[in-house]
């Protein structure tokens, strides 16, 4: 069953109000996406993985992925597309503060795309269900960098720039090899398999009762 973005937010909020906090949903989302990646590659040890992180919860999922991938022995670099003080949500902030205590993950901020290594894998955690309007900087430059770089690309929830409700694209958008979306498929995402690549919908622990009165 495909659901709307509004239904997803309502289910997420109801699950949170039941006590299954968004930080746990985020943890399960990031872990599920990493499992798909590890399954794809067999082993991510020593792979150069570059994770672009937006300032909302799509970015937060990327931060969770960074921690899990470090645990698998990958060489992880996180590029936060802004400054840590401007991270928008409590859950993302919490995950950033953990990474600050992990020298195994290289943290970069601001959004420069002048990297001194070639990534094997890019994770697109720039924009998810919160997208609105044309893509602004520094997100636009990050999306251009992703599209110009020849490596494997995983989209967190939805390729950034693709509207998960309508399937329409903004002025720029990423083209990925795999997309891992969460809880249930959103209506617009499967309309653009050319941008999503392989597509998976992963459960993230939200109680089914959180759907009551919404679906």
Ligand X SMILES: NC(=O)C1=CN([C@@H]2O[C@H](COP(=O)(O)OP(=O)(O)OC[C@H]3O[C@@H](n4cnc5c(N)ncnc54)[C@H](O)[C@@H]3O)[C@@H](O)[C@H]2O)[C@H](O)CC1
By CB atoms closer than 10 A (0-12, 13-18, 19+), residue 206 is buried
Q: What token pair was written down for 79?
A: 């590029």
Tell me the number of residues near ligand X by CB under 6 A: 33
Check if the beta carbon of residue 73 is closer than 8 Å to that of residue 46.
Answer: yes
Least separation in angstroms between CB 131 and ligand X: 5
What is the C-alpha separation between 202 and 140, in angstroms, rounded?
A: 28
User: Is residue 130 part of the contact set for ligand X (CB under 6 A)?
Assistant: yes
> What x-and-dash track marks residues 177-196 binding ligand X by CB under 6 A?
-----xx-------------
Window 93 to 122, contacts with ligand X (CB under 6 A): none
What is the C-alpha separation between 127 and 54, in angstroms, rounded?
A: 6
98 is in an annotated binding site: no
12 binds, among ligand X, K ion, none (CB under 5 to 8 A by kind): ligand X
- Residue 162 phi, psi dihedral angles, 5° rounding: -95, 130
Instruction: List residues binding ligand X (CB under 6 A).
Output: 8, 12, 22, 25-26, 29, 54-61, 88-89, 127-136, 139, 156-157, 170, 182-183, 204
Q: Which residues are known binding-site members for (6S)-NADPHX?
A: 57-61, 128-134, 139, 157
């Amino acid at each position: 069953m495909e659901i709307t973005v509004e239904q997803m937010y309502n289910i997420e909020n109801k699950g949170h109000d039941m006590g299954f906090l968004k930080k746990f949903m985020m943890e399960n989302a990031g872990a599920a996406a990493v499992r798909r990646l590890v399954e794809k590659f067999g082993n991510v040890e020593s792979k150069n993985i570059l994770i672009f992180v937006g300032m909302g919860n799509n970015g937060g999922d990327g931060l969770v992925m960074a921690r899990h991938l470090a645990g698998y022995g990958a060489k992880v670099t996180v590029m936060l597309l802004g400054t840590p003080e401007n991270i928008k949500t409590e859950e993302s902030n919490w995950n950033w503060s953990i990474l600050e205590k992990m020298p195994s993950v290289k943290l970069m901020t601001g959004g420069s795309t002048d990297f001194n290594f070639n990534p094997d894998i890019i994770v697109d955690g720039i924009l998810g269900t919160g997208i609105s309007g044309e893509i602004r900087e520094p997100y636009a430059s990050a999306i251009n960098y992703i599209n110009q770089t020849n490596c494997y690309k995983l989209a967190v929830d939805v390729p950034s720039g693709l509207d998960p409700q309508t399937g329409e694209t903004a002025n720029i958008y990423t083209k990925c090899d795999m997309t891992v979306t969460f809880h249930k498929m959103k209506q617009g995402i499967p309309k653009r398999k050319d941008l999503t690549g392989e597509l998976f919908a992963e459960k993230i622990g939200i109680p089914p009762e959180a759907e009551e009165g919404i679906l």
